[in-house]
Chain A
Amino acid sequence: MTTTTTTTTTPRPAPPGVRWPLVGGVAVALAVTVWAALGIEFTLAPLFTDTLRGQRIIAQFLDPDWSYVVRVLPAWVETLSIAVVASVVGCVLALGAAMLASRVTAPGTVVYQLAKAVLSVVRSLPDIAYGLLFVAAVGTGALGGIMALVLFNLGIAAKLTAETIDAVDPGPLEAADAAGGNRVQRAARAVFPQIAPSYLSYCLYVFELNIRASVVIGLVGGGGIGNVISVELSRFRYDRLAALVVALFVVVFAIDQLSRAVRRRLV
């Protein structure tokens, strides 16, 4: 306990050198920002100069045609239906894919690596690309939209579920092995009960996303309210668009709240 008396003899440490990873990281981030801003010709000027040009549009926007929301009721129903079907199918497939993409349940390292790679490719394509692809393959309409969303859901739900499986308590797994269960039995009896609440909550989350995504996919011909929006956009009917946008917001918000309430009870 003599440190206090030797204080004056301890030399001060030299300041650490420049922290290159940090400095370099910040410099790169700034450079990328400048480059990207030039690339997309970033400017806020239209905000001040072109608000006048937008006035006609804004005027229409502020006078929404509410009756139109109800007139396209079938399209709303279709959007919801697409979301329901795509979520169910996507999540069922995702459960199987997740079992293959987790170290805990995969039948071997090769399968595990392969499944992970496939899932990351599936996830790298945006929902809209799937929309375009399937609409081209099976024609415009709900079927293409459903198929696109199934893949979209598969990517997200499988990744989240696989991560949850990675983190399960290994105790019950050992017990299942000790009882002589095979791989599938182990997954069904020891793994699934542990992940079931999280898995269901991911499914609901995916369903929330699907309301939004099905609008996007509708834009490219995947059916539902997105189709309607796309048509009105090309007709410059901003009064109708405004009503649709508000209605869409209400629907998305309501579904989010509902799904959140259910998820809170699950976990």
Chain B
Amino acid sequence: MRPPRPSRRLRHAGWTLGTLLLLGAIVLVDARWGRLLEAPAALWDYGGLMADGVLRNPFDGEFPEYWAVSFELMVESLQMAWIGTVIGALLSFPLGFAAASNIAPPAVVLGVRQVLNLIRAVPELIFAIALMLPVFGLGPLAGALAIGVGSVGTLGKLTSEAIESIDPGPVEAARSTGARPVAVLRWGVVPQVLPEVVAFWLYRFEINIRASAVLGVLGAGGIGSLLAQLFERRLWDRIGITIVVIVVVTVLVDQLSAAIRHRIISGDSRAARQPAESVL
């Protein structure tokens, strides 16, 4: 006898719900969809203007200045992202140990994990507005601090997960030699996790480059601030130049960072693990 077809009710319900949600969103959002038709033409025009700026002789008239300004501010964004990552790394390293269930007592683990989750749920933007603005004012420093605090959540979580997945043998061996707890961590745990953790830092740096641009628009300086000003004044040639600078520098830094990450992890027998996307 042929079996009856299994129920697909759940699947159908899922599709229906999804479709309704989408339709509802399309109706509710006041997007003035008609303008979608005009968008290609507008983008084509602006694209042309941007290309003009990019393709103009970069040594002609004001153009060397334009390229230099974009590049300098991109560098400032990189600096902001780097300092933010360093702050995040320094703060998250001890917190990672405190959040690892094979290291810290359960009560501490629970508490620290909640703090890390909380930080992870808050966008950098909010740290910038809520924490940095009142005290530091707007500027690259505030941006770096916001990025730093914002990075602690993910980095702390990843570090604690790396620590929890270590081979417990060396820790037991270190303990059986009568070593002090600090020495047990230093010799039994740190050598096992350090390459992975440093790779996480670099990965976070790549993400923080984008975040620093966002904070820039808010007024934290760097390439984001420039971009916001240029768009306000609709200087399309300079926008084109700035976008090219962002893309080239970001792609280069990404490639470099990825190469270093692979190099760091390759000495390791475990495969080059990229952090799960869900936590980044």
Contacts and interface: CB of A to CB of B under 8 A. Distances in A.
Interface of A: 21, 25, 32-33, 35-37, 39-43, 46-47, 50-51, 53-54, 57-58, 61, 77-78, 80-82, 84-85, 88, 120-121, 124-129, 132-139, 141-143, 146-147, 160, 201-202, 205, 212, 215-216, 219-220, 223, 229, 233, 238, 241-242, 245, 248-249, 252-253, 256, 260, 263
A32 B246 CA distance: 19
B115 interface: no
Contacts of A32: 82
- Considering residues A129, A256, A260, which has the most beta carbons from chain B within 10 angstroms of its beta carbon? A129
A84 B129 CA distance: 26
Nearest to A259: B278
A40 B130 contact: no
A129 B125 CA distance: 15
Interface in B112-143: 121-123, 125-126, 129-130, 133-137, 139-141, 143
A208 to B, nearest CB: 9
Given A50-B136, A124-B251, A37 B83 contact: yes
B243 interface: yes
Interface of B: 21-22, 24-26, 28-33, 35-36, 38-39, 42-43, 46, 75-76, 78-80, 82-83, 86, 121-123, 125-126, 129-130, 133-137, 139-141, 143-144, 209-211, 213-214, 216-218, 221, 224, 227-228, 231, 234, 239, 243, 246-247, 250-251, 254, 260, 263, 277-278
B246 A124 contact: yes
B135 A40 contact: no
**Majority SS of interface residues in chain A?**
helix
B79 A125 contact: no
Contacts of B209: 126
Contact of A142 (B29, B129, B231): B29
Nearest to A163: B274
A40 B32 contact: no
Contact of B25 (A36, A58, A85, A125): A85
A58 B131 CA distance: 9
Given A120-B254, A125-B247, A132-B231, A41 B141 contact: yes
A141 B30 contact: yes
Nearest first, the 9 A-B pairs at minimum CB distance are: A54-B134, A36-B79, A81-B29, A40-B140, A124-B250, A81-B25, A57-B134, A84-B25, A126-B213
Contacts, number: 189
Contacts of A238: 134
Contact of A143 (B35, B121, B214, B251): B35
A249 B126 CA distance: 9
B141 A126 contact: no
A127 B28 contact: no
Contact of A78 (B21, B30, B83, B221): B30
A233 to B, nearest CB: 7
Nearest to A32: B82
A136 B140 contact: no
A77 B135 CA distance: 32
B213 A146 contact: no
Contact of B42 (A25, A85, A138, A215): A138
Contacts of A25: 260
B243 A129 contact: yes
Contacts of A141: 30-32
B31 A252 contact: no
Contacts of A242: 130
Nearest to A35: B79
Contacts of A81: 24-26, 28-29
A41 B222 CA distance: 13
- Considering residues A121, A127, A133, which has the most beta carbons from chain B within 10 angstroms of its beta carbon? A133
A256 B125 contact: no
A6 B26 CA distance: 81
B40 to A, nearest CB: 9
A77 B21 CA distance: 12
Nearest to A146: B31
A28 to B, nearest CB: 10
Contacts of B76: 39-40
Nearest to B40: A137
A81 B278 CA distance: 22
- Considering residues A37, A77, A81, A125, which has the most beta carbons from chain B within 10 angstroms of its beta carbon? A81
A137 to B, nearest CB: 5
A76 to B, nearest CB: 11
Given A40-B144, A58-B134, 4 more contacts: A124-B247, A132-B227, A216-B123, A248-B126
A41 B136 contact: no
Contacts of A205: 277-278
Contacts of B25: 80-82, 84-85
B214 A121 contact: no
B227 A129 contact: yes
Nearest to A43: B141
A132 B126 CA distance: 20
